[in-house]
Structure 1
Amino acid sequence: MTVLSDEQSAGAETWTPVCRVDQVPLAAGVAALLDGGVQVAVLRTDDGEFHGLSNIDPFSGAAVLARGIVGDIGGVPVVASPIYKQNFDLRTGRCLDDPDVRIATYPIRVVDGTVHVGVR
């Protein structure tokens, strides 16, 4: 499980608790609706690392990335959109299939077994 240091989490202005760690299965995700209508996909890799991305698939406009397939392509942790199957780097939000497309990423931290999403 990845827990951000104070230095890594300093860029986030507001932290929102979204779920317990055990509510995000390995190699899967959950969707969180934050204040202001921001939709975030909280994704967990096979090795237990958490990542936060926009839940909106930029190609279809649907809020589905939390239901995508979490995996790895050449050592890069990714989520594949369930709509058109584009792969997004969980660390940067860059689309591996169309490098000109990037989605928002959100810092994640775990405090006392609760997953928090940071909004800048």
Structure 2
Amino acid sequence: MSNYIDVCALNDINLDTGVCALINDQQVAIFRPAASGTVFAISNFDPIGKANVLSRGLISDIKGRLTVASPLYKQHYCLDTGECLEDETVSVTAYPTKVEGNRVLVAV
């Protein structure tokens, strides 16, 4: 069973942006898309660009799927699954999230 970790206040994440949090020695990118009304968390490490940068990417909707575009080579990663849309052999870890009160919790 996953343990949820209290990461930050919901208001610490501006709408349509991401932030990076260090959780158990892992960099996790947490996003708050305005279109969804919830938060998503994926690994911050871009496996193609080989750098911790995904929290700086742009959120977009591609064919009904919320994604973040890597700021390095522009691959799109699905926020709910971590799947890379441009290369099905590549993905990042997606983490369960929830909001309780005004707090963002991520399960790792």
TM range (shorter): over 0.9
> What is the CA distance between 1:69 and its match in structure 2?
0.2
> What is the CA distance between 1:111 and its match in structure 2?
1.3
Matched, 1:105 2:94: yes
After TM superposition, the score normalised by the length of structure 2 is 0.94
d(CA) in 2 for partners of 1:46 and 1:112?
18
List alignment gaps of at least 5 residues for structure 2: none
Which one of 22, 27, 34 corresponds to residue 39 of structure 1?
27
Percent identity over the alignment is 41
Q: Which has the higher helix share?
A: 1
d(CA) in 2 for partners of 1:73 and 1:67?
18
Counterpart for residue 44 of structure 2: 55
d(CA) in 2 for partners of 1:28 and 1:93?
17
Matched, 1:22 2:38: no
> What is the CA distance between 1:44 and its match in structure 2?
1.1
d(CA) in 2 for partners of 1:63 and 1:114?
24
Counterpart for residue 72 of structure 2: 83
CA-atom RMSD in angstroms: 1.0
Counting matched residue pairs gives 107
> What is the CA distance between 1:45 and its match in structure 2?
1.0
List alignment gaps of at least 5 residues for structure 1: 1-10
> What is the CA distance between 1:49 and its match in structure 2?
2.0
CA deviation map 1:72-97 (0-9, x unaligned) = 01111000000110000111110001
Q: Which has the higher strand share?
A: 2
After TM superposition, the score normalised by the length of structure 1 is 0.85
Counterpart for residue 118 of structure 1: 107
